[in-house]
Amino acid sequence: MKIDLHVHGAPWENSWAAYRQAVWYGWKAGLEVIGICEHGPRFNHRVPFRSLYLSELDKYFDILEEIRLEFAGEIEVLFGIELDYNENTAEYYDDLLPRFPLDYVVGSLHTVRDWVVDLPGSFQESSLSGLDSKGLYEVYFEEMKNAAQTGLFNFIAHPDFVKKALPHLKMEKPQDVTDIYRDAAKMLSACETGIEINTRGRILSDVGEYYPADEFLLQCGQAGVPLTIGSDAHDPKMTGSEVEEAALHAKKLGYRELSIWRKRKRYSLTI
């Protein structure tokens, strides 16, 4: 079963045709299920990265519907959206999301409190600037538990995204994070919130491995956290990158099934 539930079109960089191109590349690569999950509206003025505006959401879902019909019977197209979690916006999303024909919602921690993880320069001015890498992991995974408890998200994207910042902050990965991982896995499981293996960490960035680390994957597997797979492609040609390898990796770590979501309900597929 070859799936990729984390695909962007980034129409502000490419064009609106990028969604169709991504599905076409995915179909050509032999994907059976593809999930488009564009970055949704952000309500955090600290984040300088573009995402869909509120006023673009109708267009986004209309385009996806056209693509779904065009590729029917060839590849299943699921409708997703990737949203930043922070405590102030969860309520807003709660109101926003039922208006759209979503199959699933992806929760991301691109920001942790007033720190923008992806923006190394924002760390020193943030309230977390005194923390070492273990402290950052603690806060990051605490926020993940809060995100899970909102019940808004079907799965958490790139689940240990915090590690991306470490080289820029000249920090080593923390030692002995087993308890942090175990607590987070327990909460995800209790909230029926899944995670993904995100292959982008290995392919593009200086992270050099999948998100998340194997140890967290193992903890999540033992806790019964649903798992899916995503390439996080922002370029249509990258759709489906390494998703087969990621599925085999999950199998090696003890997973027997992957999850997809249709109309916010989870379905299991045998690996």
Which residues bind to Zn ion, rule: CB under 5 A? 82, 108, 157, 232
Between CA 261 and CA 271 the distance in angstroms is 16
Strands 227-230 and 3-7: unpaired
Give the number of other Cβ atoms within 10 Å of residue 192's Cβ.
Answer: 13
The CB-of-200 to Zn ion minimum distance in angstroms stands at 8
The CB-of-76 to Zn ion minimum distance in angstroms stands at 20
Q: Which two tokens stand for residue 167?
A: 């080289």
Q: What is the DSSP string of 173-239?
A: PPS--HHHHHHHHHHHHHTT-EEEEETHHHHTSTT-S-BS-HHHHHHHHHHT--EEEE--BSSGGGT
Between CA 189 and CA 223 the distance in angstroms is 6
Q: Which is nearer to Zn ion, 115 or 186 (CB)?
A: 115
The CB-of-108 to Zn ion minimum distance in angstroms stands at 4
Q: Which is nearer to Zn ion, 109 or 258 (CB)?
A: 109
Q: Which two tokens stand for residue 250?
A: 């999950």
Q: Which is nearer to Zn ion, 47 or 188 (CB)?
A: 47
Q: Which is nearer to Zn ion, 79 or 186 (CB)?
A: 79
The CB-of-44 to Zn ion minimum distance in angstroms stands at 14
Q: Which is nearer to Zn ion, 82 or 138 (CB)?
A: 82
The CB-of-160 to Zn ion minimum distance in angstroms stands at 12
